[in-house]
């Protein structure tokens, strides 16, 4: 999948341009987040930000990050200052591939056509400069200067949430068009799941709420609807063809403190079809392991004395992805019946997670060795628990990685019905097995304690 790195200029101790109490770094971050949200909610694309909060990062770190991720496109977002007004874009003024020039032309022209006339903004043109982020990036790179923070006319627009929203949507669409990103859904097909982050009878309250969402980096807009001859202002923060993606987005909004719910397109305009949803409940898939490799191996061998030495591999592969390696190991014990492989998968497949083994005798994926098999298992969990791309240091070895709705299950309990279909207790079974592992480890510790205490007591000093 195409990976775009968006770079919100400045941050932390570097505010960028400042005027009155406006700091460029905050505008860059808010716009960048909204561009990202618009891109990932509408297109098949991965987006990573060089910073997703107010932190100080050097220019070199920004380009190193994009180069290490092997990004396909680098988009730096800034705002201008010191004597001027309007919009401009930059590419590197040294040698660049024709493609870079074509991308600048395509993106710049679409933004100019869709937004500049509408708001009466001056087009300062397509420019070239020797900026670090344009020179040191190995992929096509573009820097956008949206507007001038120290120009009263420009600033008035920058303080208008509808403008920020409009410009972010257009930057996202222009980038998607230039990079030929496929749409996530065909608008005419099936049900559309709209994520609503609030519904108000008072327009001002709706606008205040919209502002809060935008400050937190969510792209949203107000749509009006009439119920019982009364106007309602509904804040739409996203729209998805896939219910799971809509649910994941609701979870994200809830985590950020915004009550939200899903409306299906057919269900409108009645609010009765609203389905309130909560963030994934339960125990996180990501995090640090508690048990040691020895404790894990000892437990597996207490049930199957012939169990292979896999705990160390589970811990080291999981650590790279911030996945709970000890619980992933419990999942492997569950899937393989303690490495006795009594199901459809055979031991020589090195498939410890039942990847592609969908039941009815389907044997599923095979891996060349234990290490790759464990890595595929961890990557499959990572696909559910995170939306980030596979880190640059690893190959994608999970053959079903791209079939997962990225980020659709952040807890073991949320794997129910997703990893195992049908399944209402899948996560609970894994955690139950993990609990047994913890209790066995605790017993061993108690035994050790008694042994050590006895040794101390028996000393005749």
- State the catalytic residues: 145
Q: Of the listed pieces 35-43, 72-80, 323-331, 443-451, which binds Zn ion according to CB under 5 A?
A: 72-80
- Nearer Cβ to Zn ion, position 146 or 353? 146
Give yes or no for a cis peptide into 435 (omega within 30° of 0). no
Per CB under 5 A, does 234 bind Zn ion?
no
CB of 9 to Zn ion, least distance (A): 4
Count the alpha carbons within 13 Å of 153 in the hemisphere toward its beta carbon. 9
Q: Find all residues with CB under 8 Å of 30, minimum gap 6, and list them.
A: 164, 214, 215, 217
Cβ burial, residue 435 (10 Å; 0-12/13-18/19+): exposed
Q: How far is the CB of 47 from Zn ion (least distance, A)?
A: 20
Q: Is 92 helix (H, G, I), strand (E, B) or coil?
A: strand
Q: What letter would DSSP give residue 115?
A: I
DSSP letter assigned to residue 17:
S
Least distance (Å) between residue 27 CB and Zn ion:
10
10 versus 377: smaller Cβ distance to Zn ion: 10
Q: Which of 36, 78, 194, 377 binds Zn ion (CB under 5 A)?
A: 78
Options 3-11, 161-169, 285-293, 352-360: segment touching Zn ion (CB under 5 A): 3-11
Query: Which C-beta is closer to Zn ion: that of 9 or that of 238?
Result: 9
Token pair listed for 357:
């083994």
Letter string b/e over residues 191-216, b meaning 16 or more CB atoms within 10 A of that residue's CB: ebbbbbbbbbeeeeebeebbebbbee
Task: Write the interaction track for Zn ion spanning residues 10-39; mark x where CB under 5 A is met and - where it is not.
Answer: ------x-----------------------
**168-171 contacts: CB < 8 A, separation 24 or more?**
168/31, 168/34, 168/35, 168/37, 168/38, 168/219, 169/34, 169/38, 169/219, 170/110, 170/111, 170/114, 170/115, 171/31, 171/35, 171/38, 171/75, 171/77, 171/107, 171/111, 171/144
The residue (of 79 and 334) whose beta carbon lies closer to Zn ion is 79
Q: Which of residues 118-177 bind Zn ion (CB under 5 A)?
A: none
**Least separation, in Å, of the C-beta of 258 and Zn ion?**
29
> What residues numbered 97-116 form the site for Zn ion, per CB under 5 A?
none
Taking the least distance from each CB to Zn ion, the nearer of 29 and 254 is: 29
- Minimum distance from CB of 33 to Zn ion (Å)? 17
Residue 66 beta carbon to Zn ion: minimum distance, rounded to whole angstroms: 17
Span near Zn ion by CB under 5 A; candidates 78-86, 265-273, 356-364, 375-383: 78-86
In whole angstroms, the minimum distance from the beta carbon of 132 to Zn ion comes to: 12
Instruction: State in Å, rounded, how far the first CA of the chain is from the last one.
Output: 69
Q: Which is nearer to Zn ion, 78 or 209 (CB)?
A: 78
Q: Which is nearer to Zn ion, 34 or 327 (CB)?
A: 34
Is residue 332 a contact partner of residue 317, using CB atoms and an 8 Å limit? no
Size of the site for Zn ion (CB under 5 A): 3
Stretch of 7-15, 55-63, 276-284, 414-422 contacting Zn ion, by CB under 5 A: 7-15
Beta strands per DSSP E along 243-380: 261-264, 275-276
Quick check: 262 and 197 in contact, CB under 8 A? no
- Taking alpha carbons only, the member of 258, 251, 255, 256 closest to residue 277 is 251
- Which residue's beta carbon is nearest to the bound Zn ion? 78
Burial code of 229-251, b = ≥16 C-beta within 10 A, e = fewer?
A: eeebbbbbbbbbbeeebbbbbbb
- Element (H or E) spanning 129, and its range? strand 123-129
Least CB distance to Zn ion at residue 236 (A): 31
Pick the binder of Zn ion from 9, 11, 354, 407 (CB under 5 A): 9
Q: How far apart are CA 370 and CA 380, in angstroms?
A: 15
Binding residues vs Zn ion (CB under 5 A): 9, 16, 78
């Amino acid at each position: 999948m195409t990976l775009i790195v968006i770079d919100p200029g400045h941050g932390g101790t570097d505010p960028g341009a400042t005027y009155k109490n406006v700091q460029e770094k905050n505008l860059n971050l808010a716009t960048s987040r909204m561009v990202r949200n618009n891109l990932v909610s509408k297109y098949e694309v991965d987006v990573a930000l060089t910073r997703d909060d107010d932190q100080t990062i050097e220019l070199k770190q920004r380009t190193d990050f994009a180069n290490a991720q092997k990004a396909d496109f680098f988009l730096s977002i800034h705002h201008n200052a010191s004597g001027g007004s309007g919009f401009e874009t930059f590419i590197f003024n040294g040698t660049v591939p024709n493609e870079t020039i074509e991308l600048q032309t395509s993106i710049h022209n679409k933004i100019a056509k869709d937004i500049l006339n509408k708001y009466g903004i001056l087009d300062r043109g397509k420019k070239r400069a020797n900026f670090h982020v344009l020179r040191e990036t190995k992929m096509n790179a573009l820097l956008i200067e949206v507007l001038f923070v120290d120009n009263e006319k420009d600033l008035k627009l920058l303080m208008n949430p509808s403008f920020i929203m409009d410009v972010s949507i257009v930057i996202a669409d222009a980038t998607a068009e230039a990079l030929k990103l496929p749409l996530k859904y065909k608008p005419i097909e099936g049900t559309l799941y709209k994520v609503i982050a609030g519904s108000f009878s008072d327009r001002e309250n709706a606008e205040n709420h919209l502002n809060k969402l935008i400050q937190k980096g969510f792209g949203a807009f107000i749509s009006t609807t009439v119920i019982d001859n009364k106007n309602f202002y509904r804040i739409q923060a996203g729209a998805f063809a896939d219910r799971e993606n809509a649910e994941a987005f609701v979870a994200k909004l809830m985590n950020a403190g915004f009550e939200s719910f899903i409306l299906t397109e057919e269900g409108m305009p009645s609010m009765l079809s609203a389905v309130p949803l909560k963030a994934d409940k339960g125990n996180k898939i990501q995090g640090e392991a508690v048990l040691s490799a020895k404790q894990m191996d000892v437990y597996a061998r207490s049930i199957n004395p012939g169990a292979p030495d896999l705990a160390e591999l589970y811990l080291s592969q999981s650590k790279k992805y911030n996945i709970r390696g000890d619980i992933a190991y419990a999942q492997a014990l569950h899937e393989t019946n303690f490495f006795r492989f009594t199901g459809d998968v055979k031991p020589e497949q090195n498939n410890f997670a039942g990847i592609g083994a969908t039941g009815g005798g389907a044997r599923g994926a095979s891996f060349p060795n234990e290490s790759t098999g464990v890595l595929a298992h961890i990557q499959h969990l990572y696909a559910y628990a995170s939306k980030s791309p596979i880190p640059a240091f690893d190959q994608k070895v999970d053959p079903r990685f791209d079939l997962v709705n990225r980020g659709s299950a952040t807890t073991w309990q949320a794997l129910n019905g997703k990893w195992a279909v049908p399944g209402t207790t899948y996560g609970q079974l894994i955690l139950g097995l993990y609990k047994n592992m913890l209790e066995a480890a605790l017993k061993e510790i108690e035994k050790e304690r008694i042994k050590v205490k006895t040794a101390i007591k028996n000393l005749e000093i």
